[in-house]
């Protein structure tokens, strides 16, 4: 079969819908690979344990998982949207995208069989933060406007005040809660965030029955030190050094 014949099939309107599904899978695989590979490369190299071969295997596994998850979601989302549109006599409605997203969200991200995956959890949390920001902007968006900025509501109504205060309050509460959890309940934080904060600050282990020192050492090795009070152990990164090298260039 010649290239021209293949192009004729690809451009034939009769095959448009199935090719949309093919394209959706392709885009999910490519985008997932582009996003996850550099992310996994950096994090596994910095925080991962094991041999070089094990780290490479972990990087490829995380990349594959991310790409496959996006490909599955893209395929089933487009498929459900097509089915709903056909059922509605070829008319697309706003609720179709919600129903399709809801269904695929459960099947791809929400089922107990996949919910424990670190890749799935990271993707849901990534989306959740942006959904919350989008909904917040929608709340203060005046009727007929396509965007909401402080300038558009300056001195006009309650939306301007909410826009001015919304981000400072949200950012302050977010980091206040993050650091409180990190200091007193580190076991409930997502491991990547916990490892990043551990690398910069001190973790006081106030509940060893919840998060044992052995678990922390396995995930992010650091030297163990005794607490000043003689009680709980501590991870010491930002409060201990023995010279210029361990002050500025590296941790212990």
The reported pLDDT for the residue numbered 228 is 43
Does 171 have pLDDT greater than 60? yes
Task: Give percent above pLDDT 70 in the chain.
Answer: 73
The reported pLDDT for the residue numbered 212 is 54
The reported pLDDT for the residue numbered 96 is 97
Helices (H), 91-203: 94-104, 112-115, 118-140, 150-153, 158-184, 191-200
Beta strands 233-235; 203-204: pairing state: antiparallel
Residue that wins the pLDDT comparison between 62 and 192? 62
The crossing angle, in degrees rounded to 10, of helices 52-87 and 118-140 is: 50
The reported pLDDT for the residue numbered 236 is 47
Does 220 have pLDDT greater than 70? no
Residue that wins the pLDDT comparison between 81 and 1? 81
Per-range mean pLDDT, top range of 44-58, 200-214, 215-229: 44-58
For range 167-181, the mean pLDDT: 93
The reported pLDDT for the residue numbered 191 is 84
- Which two tokens mark 102? 């809801």
Q: Which CA distances in Å does 60 have to 27, 53, 63, 189, 218?
A: 18, 11, 5, 25, 21
Contact 224, 204 (CB under 8 A): no
Please spell the DSSP secondary structure of 225-243, one letter per residue.
EE-TTSSSEEE-STT--SS
- CB environment 84-99: b (16+ within 10 A), e (fewer): bbeeeeeeeeeebeee
Q: Which CA distances in Å does 97 have to 54, 76, 87, 104, 138?
A: 40, 12, 14, 10, 17
Does 241 have pLDDT greater than 70? no
The reported pLDDT for the residue numbered 205 is 46
For range 189-216, the mean pLDDT: 65
DSSP 8-state code for residue 13: G
For range 195-207, the mean pLDDT: 65
Report the chain's mean pLDDT, rounded to a whole number.
81
- The Cα 251–Cα 247 span in angstroms is 7
Beta-bridge partner residues of 224? 235
């Amino acid at each position: 079969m010649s290239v021209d014949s293949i192009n004729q099939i690809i451009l034939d309107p009769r095959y448009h819908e199935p090719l949309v599904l093919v394209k959706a899978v392709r885009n999910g695989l490519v985008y997932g690979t582009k996003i996850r590979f550099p992310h996994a490369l950096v994090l596994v190299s910095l925080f991962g344990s094991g041999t070089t071969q094990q780290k490479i295997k972990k990087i490829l596994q995380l990349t594959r998982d991310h790409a496959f998850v996006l490909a599955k979601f893209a395929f089933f989302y487009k498929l459900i949207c097509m089915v709903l549109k056909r059922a509605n006599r070829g008319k697309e409605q706003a609720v179709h995208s919600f129903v399709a997203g809801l269904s695929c969200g459960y099947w791809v991200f929400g089922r107990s069989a996949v919910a424990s995956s670190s890749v799935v959890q990271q993707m849901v949390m990534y989306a959740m933060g942006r959904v919350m920001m989008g909904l917040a902007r929608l709340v203060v968006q005046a009727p007929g406007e396509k965007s909401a900025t402080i300038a558009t509501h300056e001195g006009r109504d309650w939306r301007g005040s909410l826009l001015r205060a919304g981000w400072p309050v949200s950012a302050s509460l977010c980091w206040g809660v993050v650091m409180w959890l990190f200091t007193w309940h580190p076991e409930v934080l997502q491991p990547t965030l916990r490892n990043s904060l551990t690398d910069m600050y001190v973790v006081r282990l106030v509940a060893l029955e919840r998060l044992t020192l052995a678990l922390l050492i396995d995930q992010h090795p650091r030297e163990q030190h005794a607490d000043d009070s003689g009680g709980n152990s501590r991870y010491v990164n930002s409060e201990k050094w023995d010279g210029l090298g361990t002050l500025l260039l590296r941790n212990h």
